[in-house]
Chains A and B, each alone.
Chain A
Amino acid sequence: MFGFIIIMPALQILLFGWAIGGTPTDLDVSVVDDAQNMGSATLIGHLEGSDALLIEIEPDLDSARESVANGESWAVIHIHAEGNISVILDNSNQQVSNTVLLELRHALEYMGPESLPLTIEDPIYGSKDPAFIDFLAPGIMTLVCFMFSLILTTMAFVGERHDGTLDRIFAAGTQPGEVLLGHLAAFTVILVGQVSVVIAISVWGFDIPVEGSILLLFAVCLLLGWAAMCLGLVVSGKAKSEFQAMQINMPLIFPALLLSGILWPVQALPDWLQPVAWALPTTWTAEACRSIMIRGWGLESEPVWMAFLANAIFAGAMLLIAARTLKVRV
């Protein structure tokens, strides 16, 4: 039980952190230097200094193209005799292409404004070179808090509904609301543990910066956990067995993963899917977590207080539905 409650969420967060959002390293890139001057040598020097790239100098453009064509390298960086630069990509993996282009931009920036008439100033929010994990972490934390609260509540409550223990408790004159609040209170202890583990691993384990208040982050995750628990109470009211409960949980967790702006911005969803996304408490929570962690915003900012409001409304509505399904079966 302890394993499921604490180790599983920890493992999920660890796996996400290791697998997704890191910067690729040792990408083979071919460079053709037709300029052969100080500038091109410095640029190649900067490129070679990057951890992400493994530079291979090719004598001419044809052999460089050849190496991309047969998969030996990801890109050709061609420094023309006139000094301008062209890039030919193997664009089969967007993340790899982005990394190559980003590294090239960095190398050019080091060379000074005359080689690149474009300066990316320090951003207002976020770091200048954010790792993808910084964007992803708030969303993944949201997802893990949501998923485990939901699963835990449904599992525990479905059994109780169908093995007669709940009947015994109702025979004692207990009200449905009391039973539900009792469950929430008991699971809150577990939830506090889970949220602490998830935040601790993300923040200290993966060194993801938190610009705002960790306490506020904790509070919004806790509230999402409650909302998920209330949803879990509804699910266990509908399900006849633990197996059926899992069947209902799966189609709830998947939209939470895909529609909540966790992996991809909500703004990119088709118009008709937008309302669905904003009906999910995870969308509001992920947005708030990002605002707290990256922008360092507080409770006075709209995305943050909206998340508290959305989760509270969602939890309240679910609790009412759950209480109704527990009442006398007419």
Chain B
Amino acid sequence: MSAIRVRGLHRGYGPITVLSDLSMTVEAGSIYGLLGPSGCGKTTLLKVILGFLEPKAGSVEVSGAIPGSDVGYAPQEIALYPDLSIAETLRFHGRLHSMEPERILKRQDWLIDFLDLPAPTRTVGKLSGGEKRRVSLAVALLHEPSILLLDEPTVGVDPELRARIWKHMKEIAEGGTSIVITTHYIDEARQADCVGLMRHGRLLAEDSPEMVMNRQSAESLEEAFLVLCKREVRA
């Protein structure tokens, strides 16, 4: 069963085409690593899935109410109110999802421990870049949504914590959560169940990391991406 099914999607801004004839399938309870250089259309694709942008052509099917409490979204920008404390930030977003105060506090304790966040009374605006990104991730995870859309969640996060985040992703994916994660740390996407290699608004390949590498007889995802890019240029 697929959680997100995109078929023949076209979308641009005015005369500029960003996505052309893009198809992708995210299986329920899996991690989908969306890879590609900046400007290739990853964020636009997420915004179409979220329903912020209407497709020009093609279809997007999502299992669950999107936008709504079935989705957790961490935008590429930090996107937090700098004047609020961590606890206030979580309470604000928790209330948006109609969470009970006790449940918010329980999740807050867990998230602070898991993401190694500073004290909940700290003001978000005064945190370091990496800390802000973790708070942003905490907001997306807060209400335990069934679909997670994470736009570059591991930028500026230390490798140990990055490993922990991936470990947790795998855990919740096993529990049935479907996760789309964009990244340009290509090698960390080896841990995904499926990767989509995106360039110039289309997917060059979509398969499990092992299959993508095997098909191009590459040692790493990075190398596989390079081979695919060269082939696209020749074509």
Q: Which residues of B contact A171 (CB under 8 A)?
A: 50, 66-67, 71-73, 149
B17-71 interface with A by 8 A CB criterion: 47, 50-54, 65-69, 71
Within 8 Å by CB of A167, from B54, B72, B75, lies B75
Whether A168 pairs with B73 at a CB distance below 8 angstroms is yes
B103 lies within 8 A of chain A by Cβ? no
How many of A's residues come within 8 Å of B, CB to CB? 14
A329 lies within 8 A of chain B by Cβ? yes
B184 lies within 8 A of chain A by Cβ? no
Within 8 Å by CB of B97, from A163, A164, A172, A330, lies A172
B59-93 interface with A by 8 A CB criterion: 65-69, 71-81, 93
> Within the assembled complex, what's the spacing in Å between the Cα atoms of A329 and B55?
10
Within 8 Å by CB of B79, from A168, A173, A328, A329, lies A168
- Min distance, Cβ B181 to any Cβ of chain A, angstroms: 15
> Within the assembled complex, what's the spacing in Å between the Cα atoms of A167 and B52?
8
A135-181 interface with B by 8 A CB criterion: 163-165, 167-174
> Within the assembled complex, what's the spacing in Å between the Cα atoms of A17 and B47?
51
Q: Which residues of B contact A167 (CB under 8 A)?
A: 47, 50, 52, 73, 75, 79
How many of B's residues come within 8 Å of A, CB to CB? 27
* Chain A residue at minimal CB-CB distance from B50: A171
> Within the assembled complex, what's the spacing in Å between the Cα atoms of A36 and B54?
91
Q: Which residues of A contact B53 (CB under 8 A)?
A: 328-329
Q: Which residues of A contact B79 (CB under 8 A)?
A: 163-165, 167-168
* Chain A residue at minimal CB-CB distance from B81: A165
> Within the assembled complex, what's the spacing in Å between the Cα atoms of A173 and B51?
10
> Within the assembled complex, what's the spacing in Å between the Cα atoms of A173 and B50?
10
Whether A328 pairs with B52 at a CB distance below 8 angstroms is yes
B139 lies within 8 A of chain A by Cβ? yes
Whether B139 pairs with A168 at a CB distance below 8 angstroms is yes
B119 lies within 8 A of chain A by Cβ? no
Closest 3 CB pairs of A and B: A164-B79, A173-B68, A164-B75
Q: Give residues in A with beta carbon < 8 Å to B.
A: 163-165, 167-174, 328-330
Ordered by A's residue number, 23 sampled pairs between the chains whose C-beta atoms are within 8 Å are A163-B77, A163-B79, A164-B75, A165-B80, A167-B47, A167-B50, A167-B73, A167-B75, A168-B74, A168-B139, A170-B50, A170-B52, A170-B67, A171-B50, A171-B67, A171-B73, A172-B97, A328-B52, A328-B54, A329-B52, A329-B53, A329-B54, A330-B54
Q: Give residues in B with beta carbon < 8 Å to A.
A: 47, 50-54, 65-69, 71-81, 93, 96-97, 139, 149
